[in-house]
Amino acid sequence: MKTGMRTLALGALGFLLLAAQPAAAKPGNAGNGEKVYNERCVWCHGEEGDGEGAGGAVAKYLNPPPRDFTSGMFKIKTSPFSEDFPNDADIFRMIRDGMPGTDMPGWKSVLKDEQDIWDLVAYVKTFAELEDEPGKTVDYGTQVASAPESIKKGNKLFHDGARCSECHGEEGKGDAIKKLKGDNGERTWPRNLTKPWMFRGSSDPKDIFTRISTGIPGAQMPSFADPKSKKKLSIEERWHVANYVNSLAKTDKTVRAGNTVVKADKASGDLPSGPGDPAWEAATPSTFYLVPQMIYKDRVFKLSNDTITARALYNDKEVAILLEWDDRTKSIPGDKDAMTLADPEMGEDRVAVQLPVAIPKGMKKPYFVKGDAANPVNLWYWGSGTAETPGNVRLGNGTGVDSVEDRDAAAVGLKAKGVYKNGTWRVVMKRPLVTADAKTDIQFEEGRYTPIAFQNWDGSNGEIGSKHTLTTWYWLLLKPAADNTPLIAALILAALVLGVEILWARSAAKRKEA
């Protein structure tokens, strides 16, 4: 029986592994591929396949811009670094699965007949007059299984001579120390390796090994299999680095499906005054997606920061919220080092917490962008400051997207402190639970679900004013402290029951003796 179950399990695993890979390359019909392309792809990639969809208008709003197929250059491929062009299966996979972190979607749910995708592959290749595929793949040798020893070796190779950390940062968050551009002059950013869900070609160790071996054509990611490179790595060394990169995933900062509540535990003593306080380690993190503000005035189209993580604690007097987000650059206007990495228009890095002035009794909430006249909001702002002025905290009351009244943060006891380290901002905001004016300030209540939302600005991405990212409404819950009353009541009840049972037993014994 056990043998049968094991065979069944291995068979199911084999099926899943096969399903995850493209089918064996099939001949494509370029004629049919052209029809599919003109229906699905022309809007971004253009009639000539040059990435100039809608006369180039689309490319202005996308980062990275749509691929120019006329060059024959594709970033994600399995053919060796010495081969300029990809294998057909590489193009198939990009069409089928899409590219996470870009505007290129996966088409498998639309093009359900795989032959349509193979036809598209055939047609896309005609833009660069590609005929035969290389037919070769990277030499994978013998895969090194991920283990502490391998990860340790990979860590050393990653940092030796700043081989990888020069661009990807000390902790792999992409906080580069130099400005990078693609071959076509567009701004490029090193991958944040702690967010595997953003990897263009998947975070499987084999795919990471492939990227390390082939590099990324058209970008400044080199091949570490190139024998001419001073930073060349052997096959075994590349597996160690792949295992190390795979180990960098920050699972505590992933967006969890169905999680909509920032839960604040009650502290018995003082609340943390800074982001480095160990007390924050016990607070439950909640991570939410940031999306571009696309509703009014200046809009941000090219997303830079994509998630924000919130934790909260409170005591009898105050509430404190810790916000964390990965940001490749520390944006300080006027700072020479910061200016070298920024786009021409540079602002501060900023974050805002949005809360309703009055906690709603039902599910109705204020308008999610700065409230509305009938349902005003408090906005707690923190900014990184400039070379002349350090980080600052601001308070505003919003009654609409264009209507925010500045107020005195100190007057209501609002404080904030931010620290940037190795590609991550950590900002703590604190305020008393109650203030003197309930008409203009939120009055926090234990056990009440309170709407909360966030806004974020990456100054080096040109995000200023209404150009920023934001979240929808979520919830903040000040969890009631554990109460011993139910436990005490249960113990008293148990004692009474035990006493009654003893009396009953004694009474029964006396009746029996009689």
Q: What percent of the chain has pLDDT over 90?
A: 75
DSSP code at position 129:
T
Of 21-30, 90-99, 174-183, the least confident = 21-30
Structure-token pair, residue 504:
């009953």
CA distances from 192 to 117, 165, 320 (A): 30, 11, 28
SS3 (DSSP) at 336: helix
Residues in the chain: 514
Distance CA 396, CA 486 (A): 42
CA distances from 460 to 378, 384, 455 (A): 26, 12, 16
Distance CA 97, CA 107 (A): 7
Top-confidence residue, 89 or 178: 89
List the end-to-end C-alpha distance of the chain, in Å, as a whole number.
Answer: 63
Distance CA 268, CA 105 (A): 49
Q: What are phi and psi of 32, to 5 degrees?
A: -70, -35
Please give the mean pLDDT across all residues of the chain: 89
H or E element in which residue 470 lies = strand 469-470
Say which residue the tokens 């974020």 belong to.
456
Of 15-24, 111-120, 210-219, 344-353, the least confident = 15-24
Stretch 218-245: mean pLDDT, rounded? 96
pLDDT band at 164 (very low <50, low <70, confident <90, very high): very high
CA distances from 85 to 77, 93, 357 (A): 8, 15, 58
Distance CA 194, CA 457 (A): 21
H or E element in which residue 503 lies = helix 485-513
Between helix 235-247 and helix 148-159 the angle, nearest 10°, is: 100
CA distances from 12 to 19, 24, 69, 205, 472 (A): 11, 20, 38, 21, 40
Burial level of 461, CB count in 10 A (0-12/13-18/19+)? buried
- Give residue 502's pLDDT: 53
Stretch 5-27: mean pLDDT, rounded? 47
Distance CA 100, CA 197 (A): 7
Q: For the residues of 311-328, what is the DSSP string, one character each?
A: EEEE-SSEEEEEEEEE-S
Stretch 6-24: mean pLDDT, rounded? 43
Q: Pick from 155, 170, 173: which is nearest to 237 by CA? A: 155
pLDDT band at 6 (very low <50, low <70, confident <90, very high): very low
Taking 3-state DSSP, the helix, strand and coil percentages for the chain, each rounded to the nearest 5, stand at 30, 20, 50
Estimate to the nearest angstrom the gap between the alpha carbon of 362 and the chain centroid: 31
Stretch 173-201: mean pLDDT, rounded? 87
pLDDT band at 483 (very low <50, low <70, confident <90, very high): low
- Give residue 504's pLDDT: 52
- Give residue 23's pLDDT: 53
Evaluate if residue 21 carries a pLDDT over 60: no
Which amino acid appears at position 378 of this protein? N
CB count, 10 Å around CB of 308?
Answer: 23
pLDDT band at 362 (very low <50, low <70, confident <90, very high): confident
Stretch 84-97: mean pLDDT, rounded? 96
Evaluate if residue 15 carries a pLDDT over 80: no
Provide the sign of the torsion angle of the four alpha carbons 162, 167, 169, 171, taken in this order: negative
- Give residue 487's pLDDT: 42
- Give residue 507's pLDDT: 54
CA distances from 405 to 46, 299, 301, 306 (A): 46, 22, 27, 28
Distance CA 334, CA 352 (A): 22
Top-confidence residue, 18 or 234: 234
Evaluate if residue 63 carries a pLDDT over 90: no
- Give residue 511's pLDDT: 46
Cβ proximity of 187 and 219 under 8 Å: no
CB count, 10 Å around CB of 495?
Answer: 10
- Give residue 239's pLDDT: 99
pTM: 0.86
Of 110-124, 337-351, 460-474, the least confident = 337-351
